[in-house]
């Protein structure tokens, strides 16, 4: 009994349809993998920036003391307010901090969103425990506490599945005593990826259908022997692309048909289709790379603008921004700070006598003295020989001691008769504290006046 052969035009139509669908599938998978990786990277960067900002606002020594005593401090309440605001501002799933002890999780400070407050929920208590996590999930947080940088993982609890970023709490002596975590809903993350993939699948499918219709029309006319070569090329393309995930390798091998009829046109159409789809995916990847590069360049320029090129401390631009922040804190009634004004003496004489290279060294090493003394406070270079330090937290509490240490270090350097002239550093230092009713400019002017009084005494002493 002879086997019944299928009509070649039907076989070719079915095969071509499968080819187009498979090509769409490969490109869709490639699009999914690329976008998923990019999306996770953006979320990692977003969560890392949020956690870095929060930890920079927290007095770690004070918070560590709260975890030891179980008593809330005034600074703890400010941390609670900060977290409550940020969980809604950045549309986070959860924002919380904790530590792990004996396979149990203890709350340090956790945000309560407006939606939770509307349901009558209150802030979690300090050192409150929870049984919402399985032991395997608890170990993820325990490992994150020991890390030196931000950790990322997916976790599941009674509150739902989440993508979590964890940054360790480290006090001034290097003790890792907890971790702050920011969660993004896994469901929302997958929803974003799925929307993007569906859009690209539909677009790719439309292109495939369009080229498939053209292909079918050509296949129905004068199909002869050369169609076998075309079929072999299609099979080879499918085999080659099955394991490939890059558009450059999704190349359709031209069967080299020269029949001057519909078959030749069909071969050209398939070849062009693969090229167009490859270019489309390549264009997506190129556009994404350019966007990422532009963002990185913009971030780099912002960082450069906020740093002084010579001393690498904060610049005048950064100081102006900090003034705005301090004024906002004054307006909200939460300001506690002091301003130290430092003017380097004899810089013009060093520049004129020994050259600007020596002058630059004179500035940089004078700055080193300032930064070494005020190691916990931001230092700004606001002029050629002028520096400003903003004192808060522990440096604010020790402000008078640190002021004396700064003056002592400069006097010690100036009295070193064995050093070269540009290695004997001298500076006038003035300080003023914020008082109720002051503006930032008021505090700055008093510090500036105090500095000039010291400068006058130094010059008088030199005479």
Mean per-residue pLDDT, 179-183: 93
Q: Cβ atoms within 10 A of the Cβ of 285, count? A: 15
The predicted pLDDT at position 423 comes to 85
What domains are there in the chain, each with its CATH number? 8-34+191-298 (no CATH), 60-186 (3.30.450.20), 316-462 (3.30.70.270)
Read off the pLDDT of each residue in 195-216 and give the average, rounded to a whole number.
72
* Per-chain mean pLDDT for the chain: 83
What pLDDT was estimated at residue 18?
Answer: 76
Exposure of 243 by Cβ count < 10 A (0-12 exposed, 13-18 middle, 19+ buried)?
A: exposed
Q: What pLDDT, on a 0 to 100 scale, did the predictor assign at position 298?
A: 46
Contact 63, 108 (CB under 8 A): yes
- DSSP single-letter state for residue 307: B
pLDDT band at residue 248 using 50, 70 and 90 as cut-offs: low
Q: Identify the H or E element spanning 166.
A: strand 160-170
Report d(CA 463, CA 457) in Å as an integer.
10
pLDDT over threshold 90, residue 417: no
Min mean pLDDT across 169-183, 263-277, 301-315 is at 263-277
pLDDT band of residue 178 (cuts 50, 70, 90) is: very high
Computed on alpha carbons and rounded to an integer, the radius of gyration of the chain in Å comes to 33
pLDDT one-digit tens code per residue, 390-400 = 999 999 999 99
> Which is more confident, 209 or 145?
145
* pTM confidence score: 0.40
User: What is the pLDDT at residue 10?
Assistant: 66
CA distance 111 to 54: 12
Which of the residue ranges 70-79, 115-124, 417-426 has the most confident prediction, judged by mean pLDDT? 70-79
- Average of per-residue pLDDT across 61-88: 94
Q: How far apart are CA 160 and CA 2, in angstroms?
A: 62
């Amino acid at each position: 009994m002879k086997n019944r052969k299928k009509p070649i035009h039907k076989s070719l139509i079915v095969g071509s349809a499968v080819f187009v669908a498979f090509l769409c599938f490969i490109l869709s998978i490639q699009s999914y993998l690329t976008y998923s990786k990019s999306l996770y990277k953006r979320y990692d960067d977003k969560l890392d920036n949020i956690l870095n900002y929060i930890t920079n606002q927290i007095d770690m020594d004070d918070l560590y003391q709260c975890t030891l005593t179980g008593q809330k401090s005034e600074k703890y309440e400010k941390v609670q307010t900060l977290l409550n605001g940020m969980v809604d501002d950045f549309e986070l799933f959860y924002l919380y901090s904790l530590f792990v002890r004996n396979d149990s999780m203890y709350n340090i400070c956790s945000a309560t969103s407006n939606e939770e407050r509307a349901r009558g929920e209150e802030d979690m208590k300090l050192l409150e425990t929870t049984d919402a996590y399985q032991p395997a999930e608890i170990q993820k947080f325990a490992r994150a506490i020991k890390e030196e940088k931000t950790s990322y993982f997916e976790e599941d609890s009674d509150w739902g599945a989440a993508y979590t970023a964890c940054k360790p709490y480290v006090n001034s002596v290097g003790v890792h005593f907890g971790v702050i975590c920011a969660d993004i809903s896994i469901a929302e993350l997958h929803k974003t990826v799925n929307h993007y993939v569906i859009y690209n699948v539909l677009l790719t499918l439309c292109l495939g259908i369009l080229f498939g219709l053209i292909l079918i029309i050509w296949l129905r006319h004068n199909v002869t022997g050369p169609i076998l070569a075309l079929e072999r090329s299609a099979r080879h393309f499918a085999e080659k692309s099955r394991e490939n995930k890059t558009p450059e390798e999704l190349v359709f091998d031209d069967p080299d048909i020269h029949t001057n009829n519909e078959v030749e046109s069909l071969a050209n159409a398939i070849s062009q289709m693969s090229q167009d789809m490859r270019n489309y995916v390549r264009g997506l990847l190129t556009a994404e790379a350019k966007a990422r590069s532009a963002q990185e360049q913009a971030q780099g320029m912002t960082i450069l603008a906020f740093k002084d090129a010579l001393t690498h401390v904060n610049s005048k631009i950064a100081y102006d921004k900090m003034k705005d922040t301090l004024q906002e804190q004054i307006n909200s009634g939460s300001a506690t700070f002091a301003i130290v004004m430092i003017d380097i003496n004899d810089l013009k004489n060093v520049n004129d006598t020994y050259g600007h290279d020596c002058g630059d060294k004179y500035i940089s090493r004078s700055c080193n003295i300032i930064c070494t003394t005020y190691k916990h406070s931001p230092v700004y270079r606001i002029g050629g020989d002028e520096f400003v330090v903003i004192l808060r937290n522990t440096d604010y509490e020790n402000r008078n001691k640190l002021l004396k240490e700064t003056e002592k270090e400069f006097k010690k350097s100036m009295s070193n008769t064995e050093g070269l002239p540009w290695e004997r550093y001298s500076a006038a230092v003035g300080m003023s504290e914020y008082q109720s009713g002051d503006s930032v400019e008021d505090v700055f002017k008093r510090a500036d006046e105090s500095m000039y009084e010291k400068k006058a005494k130094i010059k008088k002493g030199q005479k």
